[in-house]
């Protein structure tokens, strides 16, 4: 496994996104636990989750609880695993997503996540998504307060634009360690944020890097260059996609979602795939 940095912590260059194991279409929990264990066996030491990754109204934090269970039942050493979670996005249980970026709510959400994860301090806590009803500086200010109080060890933001990245970095006193934005062959709109993170040496965590649930399996069919390069190397288009992202910048740490052991095993192997300059140019067009 190749390693990269989030703040002062070294993590695997490929992380595991937990969302598919807890929302619509989620598998039984035993398969999900096997998936998390397979990730750990492959050297993955970054697991991304959120309190909103659940299905039912009374199911808050399902994914956090699942990850805590999987880590506690794993036979190996998990002391180097960084669990990153998020607050500020909610799911009422009817399939919709809502927002609450108020400082009071974020602090309550963090306390609930601490209990579900069974830790004294969350390794990386991220403001999930800007809330138009709450000034951005107030939401990030709550994350700063949690950092100062020792409730979280590192602070990040998600779904942010360049202006918000710079503002968050200022509010956090230079302690912003990560930005988690959507980025994939299907969605390249976060190029400016990726470039800014490279400039500021902040980890950039692409979510849905393979195109998201329901789309990842057909990545090669939707984007021919990835299928072409995959055929040349005898690997999956998905593995090519992650290798392409890793080559973009040393701050990039993709977090592909998975709900089957084979999926995360294939993703983790992207660190061993070396692409030529011509291939990278082809994939970046």
Phi, psi of 48, deg, nearest 5 = -105, 135
Contact (CB, 8 A) for 168 and 140: yes
Tell me the β-bridge partners of 180: 158, 205
3-state secondary structure 192-244: HHHHHHHHHCCEEEEECCCCCCCCHHHHHHHCHHHHHHHHHHCCCHHHHHHHH
H-state helical runs in 78-204: 103-117, 136-148, 162-171, 191-200
Q: Is 74 a catalytic residue?
A: no
The alpha carbon dihedral of 268, 183, 84, 247 has a sign of positive
Residues belonging to the active site: 53
């Amino acid at each position: 496994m190749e390693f990269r940095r989030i703040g002062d912590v070294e993590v695997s260059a490929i992380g595991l996104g937990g969302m598919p194991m807890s929302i619509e279409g989620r598998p039984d929990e035993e398969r999900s636990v096997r998936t998390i264990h397979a990730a750990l066996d492959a050297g993955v030491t970054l697991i991304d989750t959120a309190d909103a990754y659940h299905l039912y109204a009374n199911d808050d934090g399902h994914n956090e609880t699942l990850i805590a269970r999987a880590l506690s039942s794993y036979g190996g050493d998990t002391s180097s695993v960084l669990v990153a979670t998020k607050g500020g996005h909610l799911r009422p249980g009817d399939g919709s997503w809502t927002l609450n970026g108020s400082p009071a709510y974020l602090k309550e959400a963090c306390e609930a996540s601490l209990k579900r994860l069974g830790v004294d301090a969350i390794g990386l806590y991220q403001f999930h998504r800007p809330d138009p009803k709450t000034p951005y500086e107030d939401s990030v200010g709550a994350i700063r307060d949690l950092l100062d109080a020792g409730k979280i060890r590192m602070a990040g933001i998600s779904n942010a634009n360049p202006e918000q990245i710079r503002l968050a970095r200022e509010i956090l006193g230079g302690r912003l360690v990560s930005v988690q934005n959507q980025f994939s062959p299907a969605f390249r709109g976060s190029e400016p944020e990726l470039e800014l993170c490279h400039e500021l040496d902040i980890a950039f965590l692409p979510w849905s890097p393979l195109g998201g649930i329901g789309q990842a399996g057909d990545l090669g069919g939707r984007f021919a260059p990835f299928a072409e390069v995959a055929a040349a190397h005898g690997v999956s288009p998905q593995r090519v996609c992650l290798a392409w992202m890793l080559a973009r910048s040393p701050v990039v740490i993709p977090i592909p979602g998975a709900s089957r052991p084979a999926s995360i095993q294939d993703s983790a192997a992207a660190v061993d795939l070396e692409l030529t300059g011509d291939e990278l140019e082809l994939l970046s067009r």
